[in-house]
Amino acid sequence: RVLIGSGQESLSQTTVNLAACGDFAYSTEEDFLTRGPTPADGSPIISDGDLLSRTGVVCMRNRDLLRFWDLNVDLGLDAVDVLDVETELVAFSTELNDPQGRFTAGDLLTTWGAIMPNRALLIRFQIDGDRGLDAVHFVGARKDIIAFNQFAKAVARSEWIADLGKLTSELQRYNIDIWFSIEGTEQRATTFSVYDGDLLSAVHGTVVVPQNVLLPNSVPAGIPQRGVDFGLDAFTSGRVVNPQEPRPTDGFFSTEILYRGKPSFSDGDILKLGNGIAIPDKTIYAPFEPMADFLGTDALYMRFAEPQPLNPDDYLPLIMRILSGGLQ
């Protein structure tokens, strides 16, 4: 990968439109030239580090995501989670390390300036070292996720490193979790192997969804039982889960490699949890009218409707009717 400078562009000239990515956002694995709508900054070059919408809008250039660190190079976009549109809070990871050594491609970053080390995400798995970060998804109540990120932006990376258990402790304190995937296989993790196709929990140090559950039974996914690890390049789902059984009831994702069997899929298709293709890759980036057919899907976010809390007052008349024998 080549580090691409921003040339004459400056932060004052950038145009952020995160609202266009409020429901759906992604990045591609390859750079390309758009023949569709001209981006707001006038450049037709779409980088694999840019955050894109399904309607052909460049929501944030890579430099916008990294503006806290004042970088003039494109570091790619490997994972993303749009946490709050109004305050432009986005969690993400890059494909390349910071040239100045402030963060790695495995660290979890936010547009508010937080750096959460990859090593801290992996501490519950007893994995030592940086294993990359391919997918990321925050789980919990929206207000708690935002509150945690308010706290995290004030914590230096060195502080997380000095106490690697601090991150998971703070996640528990805010009653949230971070689901993620790594870029390699770790066979010496705790008492079980961790593969790059598994969805992991930072808080629990467990596999939330293994590779063989992500894909249909007809796909030989999962090691060692079914033969192949297709990787987990991106994952998104609802944020509210049962705390007693922290697993997604629904979700969408992309893989690192394609499958030519039946049902076939590419590494750009968006797949539904356990159920094959939900959105073909060509449909995703069609508004940009690229000349290439296979651009891959490297990062993915989709907004899910949040369940509304129950209001006891709404059920009081019904309860009274039941108690009085008026409802059979």
Return the higher-pLDDT residue of 265 and 225: 265
**Residue 284 predicted with pLDDT over 80:** yes
Band (98; pLDDT cuts 50, 70, 90)? very high
Please tell me the predicted confidence (pLDDT) of residue 191. 63
**Residue 130 predicted with pLDDT over 90:** no
Please tell me the predicted confidence (pLDDT) of residue 243. 65
Query: What ranges do the domains of the chain cover?
Result: 11-323
**Residue 321 predicted with pLDDT over 70:** no
Band (222; pLDDT cuts 50, 70, 90)? confident
Sequence-ordered strand ranges (E) for the chain: 24-28, 32-33, 45-46, 51-52, 58-60, 79-84, 89-93, 108-110, 115-116, 135-139, 177-181, 199-201, 206-209, 234-236, 252-254, 270-272, 276-279, 297-302
Band (87; pLDDT cuts 50, 70, 90)? very high
State the chain's mean pLDDT as an integer: 88
CA distance 9 to 299: 25
Please tell me the predicted confidence (pLDDT) of residue 319. 46
Please tell me the predicted confidence (pLDDT) of residue 306. 75
Band (293; pLDDT cuts 50, 70, 90)? confident
Band (324; pLDDT cuts 50, 70, 90)? low
Closest by CA to 179, choosing from 124, 111, 244, is 124
Band (327; pLDDT cuts 50, 70, 90)? very low
